[in-house]
């Protein structure tokens, strides 16, 4: 058929997702919104009464909320990897995951950004954390890893939003073409009057290249900075230089798994098989496997160093992690993160989409549990034996509610995204059709 007809068909098929929402969609949306509402109520209860309603003990001062924070920031990294890093490597297969991955990044960062506020003892003075000239004559402590977080995650969020938006501009022009009335006006404004002239494409390409170039170091640096929340402390099990690469690999690992979790049902429900093929999934699965191997390597190195180093505190901590109160979680983590992904060495399993979906769910669970185990076990058993926790940390309904609320918020945003923005990067797909 004529080329433009191919492109028209691509437009139609991909934009079909933005049609009127069906029953299933509304049901799922209602469910996620309920989760958000209940999460909000839990948070409000905590805001009024104090952090004591959460399960924190002394010495475990950080638990579920920081786990969620690291989890969501980690998930965001995979999106940037796919959009920016793979762009620089000119990986063709990235185009089919590009948009959903970037959306995932932006929404994951929005959810992640809430958790530093949720876990504050006095959230009403959260603005103390931002450096701006004020009458209190105080600046923030730039040596603190939490402030590095503010800058790194803030930068990452801003750059991701810009990157996401920039990638959307040509696609928004396509949507503008297909809509009428008030919707047409909105998309016209959002697409800035994009035409696709040569000059625009020239500057656009340069912009995209630079944004990708700027975003690429962020993939490595932001989660390194988040990992330094732990590595800059002195606690055994936290204070180790391997954390930066370990966490970055872990972030990409969990983010890739989340991409698979999102894209597999999306492909099925929105019938996008033509554009997202099994080959694409196989490439993503290879990333999953590769990062899983790095994470497993990090587990081995950490434990090995503790044993080899002879440091009394480290040895006891790693023994505690594997055989102490949290052993069930620890071995879940090993199974889900290190053992199950090994099966992806088999080509047949890599191309089995249903299997890939299950693996991705297990990896999501495993990575959440990994952060929890790292955070809580190191806190529960550190230097002074008097302070050791005598029983396992028990999250209360407030923490569970807020965690579920965060998942609810992420999926709500994603569902809204499906209906309001082009779900795949149409322009880039057309380039390679």
Residue in the structure block whose two tokens are 């209602």: 30
Min CB(159)–other proteins separation in Å: 4
Least distance (Å) from other proteins to the CB of residue 400?
A: 17
CA atoms of 433 and 429, how far apart (whole Å)? 6
Nearer to other proteins, 29 or 147 (CB): 147
Question: How many whole angstroms separate alpha carbon 292 and alpha carbon 296?
Answer: 6
Q: Which is nearer to other proteins, 21 or 145 (CB)?
A: 145
> Which one, 13 or 389, has the nearer CB to other proteins?
389
The nearest distance, CB 55 to other proteins, in angstroms, is 8
In angstroms, what is the minimal distance from the CB of 362 to other proteins? 30
Closest CB to other proteins among residues 22, 137 = 137
What minimum distance in Å lies between the beta carbon of 34 and other proteins?
Answer: 29
Contact call for residues 237 and 319 (beta carbons, < 8 A): no
C-alpha separations of 195 from 174, 202, 423 in Å = 10, 12, 21
Q: How far is CA 124 from the centre of its chain?
A: 26
The H or E element containing residue 278 is helix 278-309
Question: Cβ closer to other proteins: 51 or 266?
Answer: 51
CB nearer other proteins, residue 139 or residue 308: 139
- Shortest distance, position 51 Cβ to other proteins, whole Å: 5
What's the CA gap between 16 and 271, in Å, rounded?
Answer: 9
Which of residues 321 and 350 has its CB atom nearest to other proteins in the complex? 321
- Show the DSSP H helices in 342-394 as ranges: 347-350, 353-380
Structure-block tokens of residue 110 = 């929005």
| Cα dihedral sign, 43-49-54-58 | positive
Q: For the CB of residue 357, give the shortest distance to other proteins in the complex, in Å.
A: 31
Extract long-range pairs of 314-319: CB within 8 Å, 24+ residues apart: 314/236, 314/237, 316/236, 316/381, 317/236, 317/237, 317/377, 317/378, 317/381, 317/382, 318/237
């Amino acid at each position: 058929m004529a080329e433009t007809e191919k492109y028209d068909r691509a437009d139609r098929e991909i934009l079909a997702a933005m049609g009127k929402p069906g029953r299933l969609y509304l049901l799922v949306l209602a469910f996620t919104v309920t989760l958000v509402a209940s999460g909000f109520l839990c948070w409000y209860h905590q805001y009024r009464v104090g952090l004591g309603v959460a399960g924190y003990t002394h010495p475990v001062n950080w638990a579920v909320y920081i786990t969620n924070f690291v989890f969501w920031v980690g998930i965001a990294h995979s999106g940037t990897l796919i959009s920016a890093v793979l762009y620089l490597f000119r990986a063709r297969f990235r185009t089919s995951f590009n948009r959903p991955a970037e959306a995932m990044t932006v929404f994951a960062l929005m959810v992640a950004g809430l958790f530093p506020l949720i876990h504050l003892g006095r959230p009403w003075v959260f603005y103390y954390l931002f450096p701006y000239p004020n009458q209190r004559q105080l600046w923030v402590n730039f040596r603190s890893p939490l402030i590095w977080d503010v800058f790194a995650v803030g930068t990452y969020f801003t750059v991701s939003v810009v990157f996401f938006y920039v990638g959307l501009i040509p696609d928004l022009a396509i949507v503008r073409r297909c809509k009428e009335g008030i919707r047409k006006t909105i998309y016209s404004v959002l697409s800035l009057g994009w035409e696709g002239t040569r000059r625009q494409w020239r500057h656009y390409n340069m912009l995209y290249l630079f944004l990708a170039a700027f975003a690429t170091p962020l993939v490595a640096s932001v989660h390194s900075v988040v990992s330094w929340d732990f590595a800059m402390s002195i606690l055994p099990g936290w204070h180790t230089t391997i954390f930066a690469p370990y966490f970055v690999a872990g972030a990409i690992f969990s983010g890739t798994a989340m991409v698979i979790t999102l894209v597999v049902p999306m492909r099925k429900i929105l019938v996008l098989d033509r554009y997202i093929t099994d080959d694409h999934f196989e490439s993503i699965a290879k990333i999953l496997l590769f990062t899983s191997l790095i994470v497993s390597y990090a587990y081995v190195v950490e434990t090995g160093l503790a044993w080899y180093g002879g440091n009394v505190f480290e040895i006891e901590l790693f023994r505690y992690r594997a055989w102490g109160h949290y052993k069930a979680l620890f071995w879940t983590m090993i199974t889900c993160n290190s053992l199950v992904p090994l099966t992806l060495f088999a080509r047949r399993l890599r191309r089995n989409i249903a299997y890939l979906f299950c693996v991705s769910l297990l990896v999501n669970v495993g990575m959440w549990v990994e952060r929890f185990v790292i955070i809580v076990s190191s806190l529960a058993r550190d230097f002074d034996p008097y302070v050791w926790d005598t029983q396992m940390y028990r999250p209360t309904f407030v923490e569970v509610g807020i965690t579920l609320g965060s998942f609810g918020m992420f999926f709500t945003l994603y569902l809204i995204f499906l209906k309001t923005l082009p779900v795949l990067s149409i322009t880039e797909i057309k380039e390679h059709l």
